[in-house]
Chain A
């Protein structure tokens, strides 16, 4: 992406504001924070996936020299009678409360001034369990009489979940429905009906800075330093949790060493704040890499998809049924279930759509948001399904898509019209890079070649609010007060560019004040590709407000219009010295209509559409199943890139991450026990894994609703990547894989299944 937009600040690839700090090792992360008198907490974790706790004996641990205190839920309850938290359901106790629901769940905490002593004491804690039957698979759990929770407890923060309150006897935490047209009639009349079932695996975010929180609760005031993507949410939820007003809870977030959706809502904050409240001292808990796997993960899912197609390749109906394995605690799973549910029929123009999407509790580590809010899992199913149908119908997969693709101005399954979404253009660009119209050499020996493409889209979490403050000081220099967390995506820089554009200032000279809820105003969270669009608009409005106030001040001072005196001089004229401020504020909430709870229909279900298309070429060794992705292409519609270089690294970075989720990453469980929870056994992509021919680009587009035409870029290239590779493998070996990840073993088995089917025929 070159710098196409020669305006003063927008479309310029300036270096990150914090670039020097990052290359000199001086960046501030909570990872490093130490407060005077601070205790370190180490977590004792459950060894059982589902069990009643009969007895916890902490006496030996507490007696170890240097241990300050060993804490269980009974201790916490002396200061907090109901220590349960969660963004969608208040279902998670800060420490196991009489029962454990997954192997790895926190049961007790050792506090010590020396982290190593706390760690040593963990080995001295003894717990007696009474094992309960457990349920791990989402399909089994949906029907099972083994219950993870006795009763559903929706949180007040999400009014649309209130109907679930008090529901008992089920592991289904949410059933989302979308109904459009008459699916039954369309299936009855169809020339062809295709039905397939796909599954995706459990994976983890693996931020290089592991989860960490430092809490200091003293005199009824809580200060929480936390590696969080959602400081405003943490404040509101911790205020509720502690029974304090918002102004007694201060949440501070410096830079984050990666987040990817993991560090959202409430994670360690509830536990660490409880501990600090209990002991009256600052407490820090910093997870190890191994422990991160027990914090939050991406939902595995089972997706049954069925389509009715006419003989000329027009899809007339689609039924989607998805079961999301949410693990033991709901986290934000119900939102994933809804948001991924509503786009799960894919970016196609289909008159009759039926979607059921279920959030399911199981005895696995909890699942939440991970770069795409479920969209990548659904695209794996609907885009492999497209190629499988095209193959059966004898149609070119791109041509089949084009006959059905959703175009701007047409209603998506929710009834919301598609707008400013370059789905077809993205596919065209991918096809161009694949030379799709040219013949392709599949090879005929031991090595076969294949190519594939896929498209995908996502809705954006709505309605959400961002508020920004622009502050011009007495010398005219400028600071931006925002709650957006820079976790590497470059939001500080992009927001400074937006403010700079409005105020005609050099973005690099603007200071971005990091989230501190005592100082920075509300923001819903740094999530779901929303920041550039939502906070970017709030920043634009705040900067415009400041600009108006500058003009107002000039008028008040009796200056002629257009005199354009610098702000410093205006303030000096007003106050007689270098003093005062000009403060502009802006807040933004996009237009939204809540979907109907029975039909999922809405006039405005999303503020914008995330769009991604991917293409892949592969080589497969037909004797071993080993495969190489020789070429990988990602194209996304991100509107106008505010900073093209930062946008590009977002697109390629998200793509490589999803490449890991496609080929190597897989949390493997045996009887509920995670067997590969470390970087030694759970392999994330390295430099050697990155495909040699790797193209990432944006379409030339503009979203008129976004700030200077921009929209989000953080997730678009995660959506269609897995099915593009899956379809390329199928093109090479002649059979489709239905499950992620794609490994040499699964490819080998698929090749063998074709061979034995042929031998049997």
Chain B
């Protein structure tokens, strides 16, 4: 049996609250109560990275995280990256490199790429491959994803 509880959190910078059940995942919360569709459940095992969001600035699998634990947290999703019409540089780099096909995994890749470059602005190709290995792209736009990250690295000077 599930029980419900009111939680408070910041969602893409906006103070928010929601009633969540003890079974709800973070994906359930984002999709069902806030209509945010960028983080997506695919493998449901934390293996594909399609559901990647930031919880207190850490990249996590939202399909495995209980909404309950987001109480008091800061949540950031792909929808929170662009500043109005201006895309985040990582989003723009993915367009420029053509780093996606169907787009279902793209949010997760962009979220992880941002984290990678925060931690390591000039990754080698091996470092890119290792850092993003937890994100799967079945269309396999992998060469273009590497191109996008390399272009961002070059731009970081």
- Say whether chain B's binding surface is mostly helix, strand, loop, or mixed: loop
| Alpha-carbon distance between A260 and B79 when the two chains are bound, in angstroms | 28
A490 sits at the interface (CB 8 A):
yes
Q: Is the CB of A208 within 8 A of B45?
A: no
Chain A 577-620 against B: per-residue CB contact (8 Å), 1 yes, 0 no? Answer: 00000000000000000000000000000000000000000000
Q: Is the CB of B37 within 8 A of A488?
A: no
**Which of A13, A23, A685 is B94 in contact with, Cβ under 8 Å?**
A23
Q: Is the CB of B101 within 8 A of A489?
A: yes
Please, how many residues of chain A have a CB less than 8 angstroms from a CB on the other chain?
A: 56
Instruction: Decide: A209 near B78, CB < 8 A? Known: A22-B106, A255-B103, A488-B139.
Output: no
Q: Is the CB of A22 within 8 A of B103?
A: yes
B62 sits at the interface (CB 8 A):
no
Q: Which residues of A contact B39 (CB under 8 A)?
A: 25
Nearest residue (CB) in A for B129 is: A687
Chain A 652-701 residues near chain B, CB threshold 8 A: 652-657, 678-680, 684-688, 690, 694, 696
A333 sits at the interface (CB 8 A):
no
B75 sits at the interface (CB 8 A):
no
Chain B 127-142 against A: per-residue CB contact (8 Å), 1 yes, 0 no? Answer: 0111011011111111
| Alpha-carbon distance between A27 and B36 when the two chains are bound, in angstroms | 11
Instruction: Decide: A653 near B38, CB < 8 A? Known: A23-B95, A488-B101, A684-B136.
Output: no
| Alpha-carbon distance between A18 and B31 when the two chains are bound, in angstroms | 21
Q: Is the CB of B47 within 8 A of A680?
A: yes
| Alpha-carbon distance between A153 and B31 when the two chains are bound, in angstroms | 43
Smallest CB separation, B113 vs chain A (Å):
11
Chain B 62-94 against A: per-residue CB contact (8 Å), 1 yes, 0 no? Answer: 000000000000000111011000010001101
Q: Is the CB of A257 within 8 A of B104?
A: yes
**Which of B50, B79, B137, B141 is A24 in contact with, Cβ under 8 Å?**
B79
**Which of B23, B42, B78, B87 is A208 in contact with, Cβ under 8 Å?**
B42
Nearest residue (CB) in B for A690 is: B142
Smallest CB separation, B121 vs chain A (Å):
19
| Alpha-carbon distance between A209 and B136 when the two chains are bound, in angstroms | 12
Q: Is the CB of A257 within 8 A of B102?
A: yes
Instruction: Decide: A207 near B138, CB < 8 A? Known: A257-B102, A653-B101, A680-B45.
Output: yes
Nearest residue (CB) in A for B141 is: A649
| Alpha-carbon distance between A489 and B103 when the two chains are bound, in angstroms | 10
Nearest residue (CB) in A for B131 is: A687
Nearest residue (CB) in A for B145 is: A687
Chain B 105-155 residues near chain A, CB threshold 8 A: 105-107, 110, 128-130, 132-133, 135-146
Q: Is the CB of A260 within 8 A of B107?
A: no
Smallest CB separation, B94 vs chain A (Å):
5
Q: Is the CB of B142 within 8 A of A656?
A: yes
Q: Which residues of A contact B2 (CB under 8 A)?
A: 116
Q: Is the CB of A210 within 8 A of B138?
A: no
A646 sits at the interface (CB 8 A):
yes
Instruction: Decide: A13 near B128, CB < 8 A? Known: A31-B40, A289-B45.
Output: no
**Which of A210, A678, A685, A690 is B143 in contact with, Cβ under 8 Å?**
A690
Q: Which of A257, A289, A490, A655 has the most CB of B within 10 A?
A: A257
Smallest CB separation, B153 vs chain A (Å):
16
| Alpha-carbon distance between A688 and B128 when the two chains are bound, in angstroms | 9
Q: Is the CB of B43 within 8 A of A23?
A: no
Q: Is the CB of B140 within 8 A of A25?
A: no
A288 sits at the interface (CB 8 A):
yes
Nearest residue (CB) in A for B128 is: A687
Q: Which residues of B contact A257 (CB under 8 A)?
A: 40, 42, 102-104
A704 sits at the interface (CB 8 A):
no
Nearest residue (CB) in B for A13 is: B98
Q: Which residues of A contact B136 (CB under 8 A)?
A: 208, 679, 684, 686
Instruction: Decide: A652 near B87, CB < 8 A? Known: A208-B48, A210-B42.
Output: no
Q: Which residues of A contact B128 (CB under 8 A)?
A: 687
Q: Which residues of A contact B42 (CB under 8 A)?
A: 208-210, 257, 289
| Alpha-carbon distance between A256 and B138 when the two chains are bound, in angstroms | 12
Q: Is the CB of A678 within 8 A of B102?
A: no
Instruction: Decide: A24 near B87, CB < 8 A? Known: A13-B98, A208-B105.
Output: yes
Instruction: Decide: A258 near B104, CB < 8 A? Known: A208-B138, A686-B133.
Output: yes
Q: Is the CB of B87 within 8 A of A20?
A: yes
Smallest CB separation, A240 vs chain B (Å):
30
Smallest CB separation, A487 vs chain B (Å):
6
A473 sits at the interface (CB 8 A):
no
Nearest residue (CB) in B for A286 is: B41
| Alpha-carbon distance between A31 and B50 when the two chains are bound, in angstroms | 13
**Which of A21, A653, A694 is B139 in contact with, Cβ under 8 Å?**
A653
| Alpha-carbon distance between A22 and B39 when the two chains are bound, in angstroms | 12
Q: Is the CB of B144 within 8 A of A649?
A: yes
| Alpha-carbon distance between A744 and B145 when the two chains are bound, in angstroms | 28
A32 sits at the interface (CB 8 A):
yes
Q: Is the CB of B142 within 8 A of A687?
A: yes
Q: Is the CB of A260 within 8 A of B138?
A: yes
A645 sits at the interface (CB 8 A):
yes
Q: Which of A649, A656, A685 has the most CB of B within 10 A?
A: A649
Q: Which residues of A contact B77 (CB under 8 A)?
A: 25
Q: Is the CB of A24 within 8 A of B140?
A: no
| Alpha-carbon distance between A620 and B110 when the two chains are bound, in angstroms | 35
Nearest residue (CB) in A for B85 is: A20
Q: Is the CB of B82 within 8 A of A24?
A: yes
A761 sits at the interface (CB 8 A):
no
Q: Which residues of A contact B133 (CB under 8 A)?
A: 686-688
B100 sits at the interface (CB 8 A):
yes
Q: Is the CB of A678 within 8 A of B43?
A: yes
Q: Is the CB of B106 within 8 A of A23?
A: yes
Q: Is the CB of A32 within 8 A of B37?
A: yes
B44 sits at the interface (CB 8 A):
yes
Chain A 192-212 against B: per-residue CB contact (8 Å), 1 yes, 0 no? Answer: 000000000000011111100
Smallest CB separation, B3 vs chain A (Å):
13
Q: Which residues of A contact B44 (CB under 8 A)?
A: 288-290
A19 sits at the interface (CB 8 A):
yes
| Alpha-carbon distance between A209 and B42 when the two chains are bound, in angstroms | 6
Q: Is the CB of B43 within 8 A of A679?
A: yes
Smallest CB separation, B80 vs chain A (Å):
10
Q: Which residues of A contact B140 (CB under 8 A)?
A: 652-657, 685, 690
| Alpha-carbon distance between A678 and B50 when the two chains are bound, in angstroms | 15
Chain B 1-13 against A: per-residue CB contact (8 Å), 1 yes, 0 no? Answer: 0100000000000
List, sorted by A's number, 30 A–B pairs whose CB atoms are closer than 8 Å.
Answer: A21-B103, A22-B100, A22-B106, A23-B94, A25-B36, A25-B39, A32-B31, A205-B138, A206-B138, A208-B104, A208-B105, A208-B137, A209-B42, A210-B42, A289-B42, A290-B44, A488-B101, A649-B143, A653-B140, A655-B140, A656-B142, A678-B43, A679-B47, A679-B48, A679-B136, A688-B130, A690-B129, A690-B140, A690-B143, A694-B143
Further pairs besides A24-B78, A687-B129: 12, Cβ < 8 Å: A25-B36, A25-B37, A25-B79, A25-B107, A207-B104, A208-B40, A258-B102, A258-B104, A258-B139, A656-B140, A680-B47, A686-B136
- Residues on A lying within 8 angstroms of B by beta carbon are 13, 15-16, 18-27, 29, 31-32, 116, 205-210, 255-258, 260, 288-290, 487-490, 645-646, 649-650, 652-657, 678-680, 684-688, 690, 694, 696
The 9 A-B pairs of least Cβ separation, nearest first, read A25-B38, A488-B102, A257-B104, A488-B101, A22-B103, A656-B140, A25-B78, A23-B91, A653-B140
